[in-house]
Amino acid sequence: MADLEPQESAESPRCANPDCQVAVDGRCIEGFPDTAECPQFGRVAIMPVAPAPGAHPAPINGVAMQASTTLSVDEADDVVKERPSRVIAIAGPQSAGKTSLIAGLYDLFQLGQVGNVSFAQSFSLHAFEQAAHDSRAASRRTTPNTARTERGEVRFYHLELVDTDSGAVPSVLLGDRAGEEYLETRSNPLSAQEFPELRRADVLTLLVDGERLLDAGQRHNLRSEIRQTLHAFVEAGVVRTTQRLALVLTKLDVIRKAADGGERTFQGFDTLLAGLRADYGANFAAVESFQIAAQPSTDGAKRGENLDHLLAYWMAEPMRYRPASMVFDVPEAERYFDRLMALPKGAQ
């Protein structure tokens, strides 16, 4: 796909996205307030149609099918350009439950619709199956398990889903990156700028490990990690006011099994949420909290409990698709016709 990268334009600034009229109205269709941040701005589109995500060279003596794996950043970009999409960044310390969340959601579709959302198709069926395997009986394990995400470039799980109420059919791209890489941004906030999923996300999903929040010895450190990580993202300038924030308490089943029924943990979560809202709420279009059990290991919660609420939040129309008000400089001119030549600010 490297040969399909948009090229630097020597002409007047414009966008590689053919649907974006930034050169005319000054408004970035991707939602970047500063066009310099947009990876498409100032480049020209390459006309040849990119191969479908995951295509790979034909094997000898056979015909290649499309791959069925997670998508690279470039492949995810192609999806975003070609169809309505929801980009979801899922950040959190290691073992917070990122892969469990992704696999748990996929497994709910094995049994039917999730709330008002129906499965349509996926370019990542192999990857989903791999992620789900260790919690399935076919693995012959006696306790559910989830493989850890290795360090490296972010990969995106792809789902095409249908909102059966609105009829919207977006591609949902779930970013998966090793938790420790997000944690390291606390020491080096600028490193968050190297994580394209954060800047491009419609919903930034921060996971709070319920098991650690339950643990008296770890809960203060965990809350600090979450606060400092979000602070680093804000400081690095990778969050935008068009993004929504989801603060997600994981492992609900384990919390409910605590001697106090999880009361202190839920209070701790509410305190964390209130603090984040107060300090960073203005950086986001919305802040919501969720308590989930994606792949429970006890009978304290139903499998996939509350994932339908989180999915509905992810499925909401991104703010980047919503029209924004624009300020026009109407020139003083005697002829009305000349006043029609007004351009939005910054577009001259």
Closest approach of other proteins to the CB of residue 346, in Å: 41
- Per DSSP bridges, beta strands 171-176 and 85-91 are parallel
Q: Does residue 68 interact with other proteins by CB under 8 A?
A: yes
- Strands of the sheet with 203-208, listed across from one edge: 117-121, 155-163, 171-176, 85-91, 203-208, 244-249, 286-291
Closest approach of other proteins to the CB of residue 16, in Å: 23
Closest approach of other proteins to the CB of residue 329, in Å: 46
Token code pair at residue 31: 């939602």
Span interacting with other proteins, options 5-13, 88-96, 127-135, 257-265, rule CB under 8 A: 127-135
Q: Does residue 130 interact with other proteins by CB under 8 A?
A: yes
Span interacting with other proteins, options 73-81, 103-111, 226-234, 321-329, rule CB under 8 A: 103-111
Closest approach of other proteins to the CB of residue 25, in Å: 33
* Closest to 99 in 3D by CA, of 74, 117, 78, 124: 124
Q: Does residue 143 interact with other proteins by CB under 8 A?
A: yes
* Closest to 198 in 3D by CA, of 227, 229, 221, 167: 229
Closest approach of other proteins to the CB of residue 295, in Å: 7
Of the candidate residues 61, 187, 325, 348, the single one contacting other proteins (CB under 8 A): 61
Span interacting with other proteins, options 102-110, 150-158, 176-184, 200-208, rule CB under 8 A: 102-110
d(CA 302, CA 307): 10
CA–centroid distance for 231 within its chain: 18
CA angle 33, 37, 40 (to 5 degrees): 105
d(CA 254, CA 86): 30
**Cβ contacts of residue 190 below 8 Å, gap of 6+?**
236
CB atoms within 10 A of CB 12: 7
Span interacting with other proteins, options 50-58, 70-78, 275-283, 330-338, rule CB under 8 A: 50-58
68 vs 218, beta carbon nearer other proteins: 68
71 vs 204, beta carbon nearer other proteins: 71
Q: Does residue 72 interact with other proteins by CB under 8 A?
A: no
119 vs 280, beta carbon nearer other proteins: 119
Q: Does residue 195 interact with other proteins by CB under 8 A?
A: no
**Cβ contacts of residue 32 below 8 Å, gap of 6+?**
38, 41, 240
How many CA atoms are closer than 13 Å to the CA of 62, on its beta-carbon side?
Answer: 7
Closest approach of other proteins to the CB of residue 132, in Å: 8
Backbone angles phi, psi at 244, to 5 degrees: -105, 150
Q: Does residue 113 interact with other proteins by CB under 8 A?
A: yes
Span interacting with other proteins, options 65-73, 188-196, 215-223, 269-277, rule CB under 8 A: 65-73
Of the candidate residues 303, 309, 312, 347, the single one contacting other proteins (CB under 8 A): 303
Q: Which residues bind other proteins (CB under 8 A)?
A: 51-52, 55-56, 58-59, 61-68, 107, 109-113, 118-122, 125-126, 129-130, 132-144, 160, 162, 169, 295-299, 303
